[in-house]
Amino acid sequence: MKAVRLHEYHKRPSVDELPEPKVTGPLDVLVRIGAAGLCRTDLHIYEGQWEPLTHPELPFTLGHENAGWVEDIGSAVSNVAVGDTVILHPHITCGLCRYCRAGDDMHCVASIFPGVDGTDGGMADYLLTGARSVVKLDPSLQPAEVAALADAGLTAYHAVKKAVPLLYPGTTALVIGAGGLGHIGVQSLKAMTAATIIVVDRNQAALELVSGYGADHTVLADGSEAGKVQELTDGQGAEVVLNFVGEQGAETLGWSLTRRAGSHYIIGYGGTIDVPTIDVISTERNVVGNLVGTYNDLAELMALTAQGKIELHTRTYPLDAVNDAMDDLDAGRLRGRGILVP
Amino acid sequence: MKAVRLHEYHKRPSVDELPEPKVTGPLDVLVRIGAAGLCRTDLHIYEGQWEPLTHPELPFTLGHENAGWVEDIGSAVSNVAVGDTVILHPHITCGLCRYCRAGDDMHCVASIFPGVDGTDGGMADYLLTGARSVVKLDPSLQPAEVAALADAGLTAYHAVKKAVPLLYPGTTALVIGAGGLGHIGVQSLKAMTAATIIVVDRNQAALELVSGYGADHTVLADGSEAGKVQELTDGQGAEVVLNFVGEQGAETLGWSLTRRAGSHYIIGYGGTIDVPTIDVISTERNVVGNLVGTYNDLAELMALTAQGKIELHTRTYPLDAVNDAMDDLDAGRLRGRGILVP
Amino acid sequence: MKAVRLHEYHKRPSVDELPEPKVTGPLDVLVRIGAAGLCRTDLHIYEGQWEPLTHPELPFTLGHENAGWVEDIGSAVSNVAVGDTVILHPHITCGLCRYCRAGDDMHCVASIFPGVDGTDGGMADYLLTGARSVVKLDPSLQPAEVAALADAGLTAYHAVKKAVPLLYPGTTALVIGAGGLGHIGVQSLKAMTAATIIVVDRNQAALELVSGYGADHTVLADGSEAGKVQELTDGQGAEVVLNFVGEQGAETLGWSLTRRAGSHYIIGYGGTIDVPTIDVISTERNVVGNLVGTYNDLAELMALTAQGKIELHTRTYPLDAVNDAMDDLDAGRLRGRGILVP
Amino acid sequence: MKAVRLHEYHKRPSVDELPEPKVTGPLDVLVRIGAAGLCRTDLHIYEGQWEPLTHPELPFTLGHENAGWVEDIGSAVSNVAVGDTVILHPHITCGLCRYCRAGDDMHCVASIFPGVDGTDGGMADYLLTGARSVVKLDPSLQPAEVAALADAGLTAYHAVKKAVPLLYPGTTALVIGAGGLGHIGVQSLKAMTAATIIVVDRNQAALELVSGYGADHTVLADGSEAGKVQELTDGQGAEVVLNFVGEQGAETLGWSLTRRAGSHYIIGYGGTIDVPTIDVISTERNVVGNLVGTYNDLAELMALTAQGKIELHTRTYPLDAVNDAMDDLDAGRLRGRGILVP
């Protein structure tokens, strides 16, 4: 089979011929890949940025946002059958640690991260994974439509779901960043809450996109955004701020627009939270970390998608054109998410 | 090895010689049994009451409250090692369904119930189980001390834990039934809440036992119990009623002593809830079902036990004396829980 | 001023001339009534059914679903100003008891229920109430559009809001009863969750109405409804059942269609919950009581209404025509809610 | 009557003769003061540090931690009666805003802070307050024993209560700071959770005190504390860190000892939270603000105190000796909390 293999950092991956993987263990699932998302993380891996984090052994197959059809299963697999359409949770988790037993997959003490940590990923004809990573899809969904939700979409959904209990009617959710994660966040908010949604972004086109997805107000980040959001919230700020940027000043903006007794959800990263403790306590505000999402979160996001409540802008490339796709992504020519189709 | 086998309903089980089970699958765990609890359910199985529920194929080995030491493990087992002391969750769950993925083990769509559903249980020298059922114990704990907590204790703990958020200081928890489950319930309440604990039981000795475990008030169920509890609660009843009896009038008593906006937790069974809907809505009270507990619940109960906060009254029998133990249990001669030790 | 006064049970109320009430206490609020809802409860009061419950002294002014404009306020009133459009929470609560201090207005130990308990209600030109009962409205809302939400709508919203945390994407909410409360319940569900909504009712026209409000499936209660709902839920039932009927078999139907680990919310009444405790515990299901709603619930419902997410079918009568309205209601000639306008 | 009046910043208050206040409004409550706590905040007020925050008009009576007996009540007061022993919530809240209606007293948009904001406080023979600020006490409690819990104790309790749901058996709560708030925090944790409690402080005597109150481990902050806590938590840190210091490095220490998926509760202040967003998201940790507490929190803390679960070290001074008490506090000669008794 074909597979996109990274042989060396700073050298574009090659499409190699590899033997097809086989089911051997009782919980193995072999997936015929229908689509694999290409993500900025893939560029970071190519640049070696993940080397100190996961020490992957080269070469390996890229691709951590995967969807396809079940080709074969091990003897103990009961959640999917051959022929099912599936999307893959980005992690293969142990199912045995306290975190797994509580459903908090992202904190599994022994998880595997295919396509990132040196385990072969999904930019290939086939991917061997485990039963705990496959989510069965409504047959109406196509792998190419959903693959890019496996990681980026899941992360946005997870943060929104944690915020839902705070977003009763009459409250405001401020979304900072209307990009790949943010526009899924806006759609998730619309589907699950009646909160007023304000979106701030530097890019007018991105704001127009989310207006169509249910944002009640959009604010261009041109230096006047703090004042405009204050005006929209009677000078109080928002009960929930979902910060999909987390750097370049957004981390400060988000806190300053978090209402008394409110919560600032950090999803994007790069910057630094820098807040006096007197400011934390005198207003009783919170800073909330967010990391990927659970297996059930992914199943729920797929339920929303099957209901037509989540849409994703994509551009499809054949697997052989992976380097065209990487070049386009690198050069900023890629609108929406790039999808590789074997 | 020796094993207590049920060959025929209404005929006492025999202690047979069987081959030792072996680890074959990657998630298999072989446990050398240190102790197996004998429970009223075992009498019910012997009487054939479970036949219509689980259709067990006879003969099989009894024993669904098991603890011991890990003898061997499969290649994928990461939560326990050979030599660890362990207690076994009563169910072996699939780890793949929505419920398992949320941590709600008791609702697994494909769980196995060794010692009950025809799968061999733990009244034997060895038991072959799965990694998802074994909870590693603090080395200070002995199998014979804890085995009977695996099912009965877990059920009591699970219900109490669900009620904890309602039991802020100043509230009252009414415990109906101070028997095998109830006395674990009282100790769990004491360990996790500052609620005032009132216990009602027909048996004065049982009440004296729970007084030593932290009950603030005990009330003998001699016909005057409703009035006495009302007196202790300013005529309002208790915010939480934990009903470990659920029959013979206790189901009615519990509801009548549930305070406005309060909750009636059903744990024992046999009777019928019979409440006008006007009564449910005009006081906004709830009836809450409770079923066994999760894997993490069992781990938490074991943490309490290791801290010395949970004690269990037991009487130990050698495995060969299983029928003496069953006779004693049947005849009401068994104080505390019967424990079989191979 | 004019006021609809009940002088005698089983005798239609008369429209009398009364002196206007005046603000005297610091927390008094005088409301010029814009609209008062007429509700089946008013018929029950007229029939004397509330006499044993609240012992009202006759005569008094009817009307417990009130909205209007603030005419005058006491010196300590800070939440509304003269001229504000307001809706009135049905209860005037003490603000001092544990329940009030927790926001649970419906459990206030000393609440007043104008229009029901003998305190003058809002079928009049003016109503004197307290600051704790008035919710300031968005100026876009008209009293006649919202008055009937003050009690019936609030009750439906309150139950739905309690159920929201259980209704993640992929779950099903079963609504039994598509009448006055049910159709607000459906709209509230649509606004706050992505759950699949199934509605059961005996009346085809009512089902058609809620189809337009977001019901995903409607099922006519013609004897085949249980089977049809099971078919729509893979034989599992619904995670949440909202029972707006609570009598005439609906109370049994609702429980039978409540999924394992699910909850049956009782809102309507008249029948009896009759469930074996074994059934409660073996499936870990709950019965949840629901009573009116909090002050903040009403504010939230008004936020939804201002967003255009809640609509109410009404028919307006002048205050003088109160007995025509009561006749129409009694005779089943009233489609939608009757609204009296001074 | 006598009252401790601040006439000028940086000048010790004087004990003046003033007319007794009188009940005039329907919700007024006149309290004969039994005890008023002296707190470091009183020194800050004397030094003028609160001038820019609350602009108090001088002179006014100090004292914001008050307890006593009800001397007279207004016509609408239903929660206390003449003669009742009471403690006073530090704020008099409006009871009308969204926050008050949700029970979140500390976020009231119009609250009064007697003894701090220029409103007369409780270092006097009598204090006029409102019904919403008085909590009725168990008659077994004496004002001098509990007054200092009104603010400092309440703040510690509130933070602990918020953390209780995270502190299931087997978890660890790390308390940083064993002083006035911290030692109430430890006792609250002990009363409401089964968590393992580790306390870090620079003062060995303070650590010894909290050992007697239920701390499982104490660690002297001598530079080796981080390592010792890591050792006690298997290198994972604590699920909950309660930071009663919040400055001088404790703010950094607390975060570094917060476990993956855990929460860092900020109660003390002075320092700055300075955390990279990548660190927040990659471990999904939270920073939680905490501010005083609710009226119901204070009632709950008093329930714990009546049960004998909360003790406070105090030293009593007559009201006339207020400046001796302030001198002792200023000079570090005051062990435990200073209490002024009229």
What pLDDT sits at residue A333?
87
pLDDT tier for residue C95 given thresholds of 50, 70 and 90: very high
| Distance in angstroms (rounded) separating the CA atoms of residues B86 and B147 | 9
Give the tokens for residue B1.
Answer: 């090895």
pLDDT tier for residue B215 given thresholds of 50, 70 and 90: very high
Contacts of D280 in chain A (CB under 8 A): 266, 269, 273, 287, 289
Q: Decide if D192 and B194 are in contact by the 8 Å CB cutoff.
A: yes
Whether the pLDDT of residue D245 is over 90: the answer is: yes
pLDDT tier for residue B313 given thresholds of 50, 70 and 90: confident
Contacts of C286 in chain B (CB under 8 A): 286-289
Average pLDDT on B299-313 reads: 96
Q: Which residues of B touch C (CB under 8 A)?
A: 99, 104, 106-107, 246-247, 251, 260-261, 266-278, 280-291
Whether the pLDDT of residue C54 is over 90: the answer is: no
Closest Cα in chain C, distance from residue A52 (Å): 38
Would you give the DSSP letter of residue A11?
A: S
Q: Decide if A96 and B26 are in contact by the 8 Å CB cutoff.
A: no
In whole numbers, what is the pLDDT of chain B averaged over residues? 96
Q: How far is CA B88 from CA B66, B96, B114, B130, B151, in A?
A: 6, 19, 10, 9, 9
Closest Cα in chain D, distance from residue B80 (Å): 17
Model confidence pTM above 0.90? yes
Closest Cα in chain A, distance from residue B179 (Å): 30
CA geometry: angle D13, D18, D20, nearest 5 deg: 130
What pLDDT sits at residue A54?
86
The answer to whether the beta carbons of residues B295 and B105 sit under 8 Å apart is: yes
Higher confidence at residue B49 or residue D218?
Answer: D218
What pLDDT sits at residue B8?
96
Contacts of A296 in chain B (CB under 8 A): 98, 101-102
CB count within 10 Å of CB A323 equals 15
Q: Which amino acid is at D65?
A: E
| Distance in angstroms (rounded) separating the CA atoms of residues B305 and B138 | 9
Q: Which residue of A has its CA nearest to D248?
A: A277
Contacts of D98 in chain C (CB under 8 A): 296, 299
Determine which of D29, D93, D101 to mutate to test the interface with C (most C C-beta atoms within 10 Å): D101
Stated length of chain B: 342
DSSP assignment of C45-67: HHTTTTHHHH-PPSSEE--SSEE
**Residue C195 DSSP SS3:** coil
Q: Which residue of B has its CA nearest to C251?
A: B277
- Compare CB distances from A299 to C161, C170, C192 and report the shortest one's residue: C170
What pLDDT sits at residue B54?
86
| Distance in angstroms (rounded) separating the CA atoms of residues C73 and C134 | 11
The answer to whether the beta carbons of residues D98 and C293 sit under 8 Å apart is: no
CA atoms in the 13 A half-sphere facing the CB of B117: 10
Q: How far is CA C123 from CA C9, C27, C130, C137, in A?
A: 17, 22, 17, 20
Average pLDDT on B288-302 reads: 98
Determine which of A136, A141, A192, A296 to mutate to test the interface with C (most C C-beta atoms within 10 Å): A192
pLDDT tier for residue D247 given thresholds of 50, 70 and 90: very high
Higher confidence at residue D40 or residue C220?
Answer: C220
Helix (H) or strand (E) holding C197, with range, is strand C196-201
**Residue C77 DSSP SS3:** coil
Determine which of A168, A233, A301 to mutate to test the interface with C (most C C-beta atoms within 10 Å): A168
Whether the pLDDT of residue A241 is over 90: the answer is: yes
Whether the pLDDT of residue D332 is over 90: the answer is: no
Q: Decide if B291 and C270 are in contact by the 8 Å CB cutoff.
A: no
pLDDT tier for residue D313 given thresholds of 50, 70 and 90: confident
Q: Decide if A269 and D286 are in contact by the 8 Å CB cutoff.
A: no
Name the nearest CA neighbour of D40 among D335, D329, D238, D273.
Answer: D329
What pLDDT sits at residue D191?
98
| Distance in angstroms (rounded) separating the CA atoms of residues D145 and D134 | 16
Closest Cα in chain A, distance from residue B24 (Å): 11
Q: Decide if C277 and B284 are in contact by the 8 Å CB cutoff.
A: no
Whether the pLDDT of residue B308 is over 90: the answer is: yes
In whole numbers, what is the pLDDT of chain D averaged over residues? 96
**Residue B12 DSSP SS3:** coil
The 3 state secondary structure assigned to A171-213 is CEEEEECCCCCHHHHHHHHHHHCCCEEEEEECCHHHHHHHHHC
Closest Cα in chain C, distance from residue A77 (Å): 21
Percent of chain A whose pLDDT exceeds 90: 94
Name the nearest CA neighbour of B22 among B133, B92, B127.
Answer: B127
The answer to whether the beta carbons of residues D143 and D314 sit under 8 Å apart is: no
CA geometry: angle D164, D166, D167, nearest 5 deg: 65
CB count within 10 Å of CB C228 equals 17
Whether the pLDDT of residue A111 is over 90: the answer is: yes
Q: Which amino acid is at D141?
A: L
What pLDDT sits at residue C332?
84
Whether the pLDDT of residue C313 is over 90: the answer is: no
Average pLDDT on D312-320 reads: 94
The answer to whether the beta carbons of residues D85 and D136 sit under 8 Å apart is: yes
| Distance in angstroms (rounded) separating the CA atoms of residues D184 and B144 | 39
CA geometry: angle C331, C337, C341, nearest 5 deg: 105
What pLDDT sits at residue D262?
98
Q: Decide if B170 and D303 are in contact by the 8 Å CB cutoff.
A: yes
Average pLDDT on C13-34 reads: 97
Q: Bridge partners of B127?
A: B31
Helix (H) or strand (E) holding B152, with range, is helix B152-163
What pLDDT sits at residue C334?
83
What pLDDT sits at residue A138?
94
The per-residue pLDDT for range A51-84, each reduced to its tens digit, is 988 899 999 999 999 999 999 999 999 999 999 9
Q: Where are the beta strands (DSSP E) in D7-43?
A: 14-17, 28-38
Q: Which long-range contacts (CB under 8 A, 24 or more apart) does D189-193 make?
A: D189/D160, D189/D214, D189/D242, D190/D214, D190/D309, D191/B169, D191/B194, D191/D304, D191/D307, D191/D309, D191/D310, D192/B169, D192/B192, D192/B193, D192/B194, D192/D160, D192/D161, D192/D164, D193/B192, D193/D164, D193/D167
Q: Bridge partners of B44?
A: none
Whether the pLDDT of residue B301 is over 90: the answer is: yes
Contacts of B26 in chain A (CB under 8 A): 25-27
Q: Which residues of C touch A (CB under 8 A)?
A: 161, 164-165, 168-170, 191-194, 299-301, 303-304, 307, 309
Percent of chain C whose pLDDT exceeds 70: 100
DSSP assignment of A46-71: HTTTTHHHH-PPSSEE--SSEEEEEE
Whether the pLDDT of residue C34 is over 90: the answer is: yes
Average pLDDT on B102-130 reads: 97
Would you give the DSSP letter of residue A83?
A: T
Give the tokens for residue C131.
Answer: 């600051």
DSSP assignment of D177-198: --STTHHHHHHHHHHH---EEE
Percent of chain A whose pLDDT exceeds 70: 100
Phi, psi of C11 (to 5 degrees): -125, 130
What pLDDT sits at residue A332?
84
What pLDDT sits at residue C333?
87
Largest Cα–Cα distance of chain A, in whole Å?
62
pLDDT tier for residue B335 given thresholds of 50, 70 and 90: confident
Contacts of A267 in chain D (CB under 8 A): 281
The answer to whether the beta carbons of residues B60 and B6 sit under 8 Å apart is: yes
In whole numbers, what is the pLDDT of chain A averaged over residues? 96
- Compare CB distances from B280 to C104, C266, C280 and report the shortest one's residue: C266
What pLDDT sits at residue D47?
93
- Compare CB distances from B97 to A26, A79, A294 and report the shortest one's residue: A79
Name the burial class of residue C301, with classes exposed (0-12), middle (13-18) and buried (19+) by CB atoms within 10 angstroms of its CB: buried
CB count within 10 Å of CB B314 equals 18
Radius of gyration of chain D (CA): 20
| Distance in angstroms (rounded) separating the CA atoms of residues A326 and A322 | 6
CA geometry: angle B221, B223, B229, nearest 5 deg: 65
What pLDDT sits at residue C336?
81
pLDDT tier for residue D289 given thresholds of 50, 70 and 90: very high
CA dihedral (C315, C318, C322, C323) positive or negative: negative
Q: Which residues of A touch B (CB under 8 A)?
A: 25-27, 76-79, 94-98, 101-103, 105, 110, 131-132, 294-296, 299
CA dihedral (C130, C136, C141, C147) positive or negative: negative
Q: Which residue of D has its CA nearest to A53?
A: D282
Whether the pLDDT of residue D46 is over 90: the answer is: yes
Q: Decide if A194 and C165 are in contact by the 8 Å CB cutoff.
A: no
Name the nearest CA neighbour of A282 among C220, D50, B219, B232.
Answer: D50
| Distance in angstroms (rounded) separating the CA atoms of residues B86 and B89 | 10
Contacts of C161 in chain A (CB under 8 A): 168
In whole numbers, what is the pLDDT of chain C averaged over residues? 96
Whether the pLDDT of residue B28 is over 90: the answer is: yes
What is the ipTM, given to two decimal places? 0.96
| Distance in angstroms (rounded) separating the CA atoms of residues B241 and B55 | 34
pLDDT tier for residue A5 given thresholds of 50, 70 and 90: very high
DSSP assignment of A249-313: THHHHHHHTEEEEEEEEE-S-SSEEEEEHHHHHHHT-EEEE--S--HHHHHHHHHHHHTT-----
Would you give the DSSP letter of residue D269?
A: -
pLDDT tier for residue C165 given thresholds of 50, 70 and 90: very high
Q: Which residue of A has its CA nearest to C192?
A: A193
- Compare CB distances from B194 to D170, D299, D304 and report the shortest one's residue: D304
| Distance in angstroms (rounded) separating the CA atoms of residues B172 and B153 | 22
DSSP assignment of D206-253: HHHHHHHTT-SEEEE-SS-HHHHHHHHTTTS-EEEEEES--STTHHHH
